[in-house]
Amino acid sequence: MAFSLSHPLSLLACSALLAGAAHAQQLPAPGDIAARVAPCMSCHGKEGRAASDGYYPRIAGKPAGYLANQLINFRDGLRRQYPLMTYTVQHLSDDYLHEMARFFADQRLPYPPPQRVEASADTLARGRALVLQGDAQRGIPACIACHGKTLTGVAPAIPGLLGLPRDYLNSQFGAWREGTRRAAAPDCMGEITRQLNVDDISAVTAWLATQPVPTDSAPAPAASVRLPVACGSVPG
């Protein structure tokens, strides 16, 4: 399975989105934050609740610290590269980006049903084992060890893994493996991902994409998780 680092958009769609972003940047910022984040919804869906079967990730309800980190990374172009995102936020201040992050983090919205994924029972079982147990012999921690027991993330900076399109999950694993997505050192996700082979990744993303999101999808409190590895992007 190939792990793409970006998703193709038609020239027409790209032009429309870039024009919308440019228009938003030319206008004085209104007092209503909902109006200021409206361009984000062109890709991420109304209120940031992207569909589970698309490509763009859901940002509604993600931890504010995580969202702010990603916006800053896109703006600065040092740890994440996606031209449309960079163009949209390149002139925005840290304070502005943190305000945007808080807006989407506060959106508590129901999730759509999980994706239907073509995967064998063995593949799904392998993915489940890696997510819930990891692989101690290879030094690979379980996903739940960092992303929370319910996989809905941990405040303030660890995202949830459920309710995301499999295409998006695959692309991010590809980006971590190839170094086009990075985090502050020590880059725990980069290190872990490079220990996974293609079949591991395919299994993990298949299993994650097929799981329903709990009714309470809020990120777990920070004190609920003791990380098994040091992560530079997570405070403390």
Sorted by where each starts, the structural domains of the chain and their CATH numbers stand as 11-105 (1.10.760.10), 121-224 (1.10.760.10)
Looking at the predicted structure, is the pLDDT value of residue 8 above 60?
no
pLDDT tens profile 36-91: 999 999 999 999 999 888 889 999 999 999 999 999 999 999 899 899 999 999 99
Distance of CA 118 to the CA centre of its chain: 22
Q: Model pTM?
A: 0.84
* 2 vs 51, higher pLDDT: 51
Looking at the predicted structure, is the pLDDT value of residue 223 above 60?
yes
Sign for the pseudo-dihedral over CA of 172, 187, 143, 158: negative
Determine the pLDDT at residue 49. 92
Give CA torsion, residues 103, 105, 110, 111, to 10 deg. Answer: 120
* 22 vs 60, higher pLDDT: 60
Q: Is the peptide bond before 165 cis (omega within 30 degrees of 0)?
A: no
Q: What does the block give as tokens for 212?
A: 């329903």
Looking at the predicted structure, is the pLDDT value of residue 163 above 60?
yes
Q: What are phi and psi of 103, to 5 degrees?
A: -60, -50
Sign for the pseudo-dihedral over CA of 43, 72, 197, 160: negative
- Contact between 73 and 172 under an 8 Å Cβ cutoff? The reply is no
Q: What are phi and psi of 216, to 5 degrees?
A: -90, 100
